[in-house]
Amino acid sequence: MSAQYPALRLRRTRASAWSRRMYAETVLTPADLIWPLFISEGQGIEEPIASLPGVSRWSVDGIVARAKEARDLGIPCLALFPNTPPRLRTAEGGEALNPDNLMCRAIRALKDAVPEVGVLTDVALDPYTAHGHDGLLDESGYVLNDRTAEVLVGQALNQAAAGADIIAPSDMMDGRVGLIREALEDEGRVNVQIMAYSAKYASGFYGPFRDAVGSRGLLKGDKKTYQMDSANAEEALREVALDLAEGADSVMVKPGLPYLDIIMRVKSEFQVPVFAYQVSGEYAMIEAAVAAGAAERDAVVLETLMAFKRAGCSGVLTYHAAHAARLLNA
């Protein structure tokens, strides 16, 4: 039962800032943000990424500095991606298993210097393969599922041994969450979380990321035999159900805004923690709109992040994390 106009005036509660604050149904705080960072070799290095204006790759010392910034801003967690030197990229991506690879050195430095900030690490072979795919190829160029999954288990254990708090498989191989969970249990790493990139779509929005990790020029073909078709929603629910059954602590939908419907359906179907990845192309689109004078950065950054919370997300991976946290703390 509801009153009618003029007894009912929905503008009444919007008439002042204090009231709008009081009636807000959704809140966005720095604790909702995960900050993705790109790592490069060297010392004292900052390399701007042309297709991601405002985002740089940092050498490990710079990553540690960003972690201190995150801590001071109230951002709980970082997501790490290495730009592996080309000479270490091979068909099999074996560098992913090296306990002294760039990723592991960054994890150790972070856990040493800023242990109170969470470290999420991506599990997939694309930063390590010479062909830019997330797994091992057969002679025809098809990405092999089960052999790749075995290597991913090794990669996950390698990251966990270095101190990763959250293992985030982004490869979309079938069965890998269960295998990783079992291996972590066997090694006694019972509190290492798994955030599964469950509904990851073969997307046109990943281009700047591939520049950042140096795989764009290498990638042969596309990733449609393992990442999802943008036409599909029921399949996303099946992916999520499988990953949860295999022991994922949380699930992710990626990209973000073009898939808000998926986020909402996952949340209402499963009532589990859901995260969104507002990916590199989404970030670049906002920055391009700002540069063109078509949008005001602060407003659209906060509005898009709020959309994820409203749709049911527990948090969002976003390259705007530090900027958004500064706005939220102001």
Contact residues toward ligand PBG (CB under 6 A) are: 122, 124, 126, 134, 170-171, 206, 209-210, 223, 279-280
Pick 32 or 122: Cβ nearer ligand PBG:
122
Minimum CB separation of residue 112 from ligand PBG in Å reads 25
The Cα–Cα gap between 143 and 311 comes to 33
C-alpha 182, offset from chain centre: 23
* Residues recorded for the chain: 330
Nearest to 49, CA basis, from 214, 170, 206, 204 = 214
Closest residue to bound ligand PBG by CB: 209
Helices (H), 145-296: 145-162, 176-186, 207-212, 234-245, 260-270, 280-291
CB of 253 to ligand PBG, least distance (A): 13
Question: What phi, psi does 129 have (nearest 5°)?
Answer: -95, 150
- Return the SS3 of 35: strand
Regarding beta strands 77-82 and 56-58, do their DSSP bridges make them parallel or antiparallel, or are they unpaired? unpaired
Catalytic residue IDs: 200, 254
Strand 193-200 versus strand 250-254 pairing type: parallel
Closer to ligand PBG by CB, 109 or 319: give it: 319
Cα–Cα distance, 122 to 167 (Å, whole number): 6
Q: Which two tokens stand for residue 73?
A: 């801003």
Least distance to ligand PBG from the beta carbon of 220, Å?
Answer: 13
CB 280 within 8 A of CB 52: yes
**In the complex, minimum distance from the CB of residue 117 to ligand PBG, in angstroms, rounded to a whole number:** 20
- Secondary structure (3-state) at 191: coil
CB of 228 to ligand PBG, least distance (A): 11
Q: How far is the CB of 79 from ligand PBG (least distance, A)?
A: 9
Structure tokens at 149: 């999954």
Is the sign of the CA dihedral 285, 291, 295, 296 positive or negative? positive
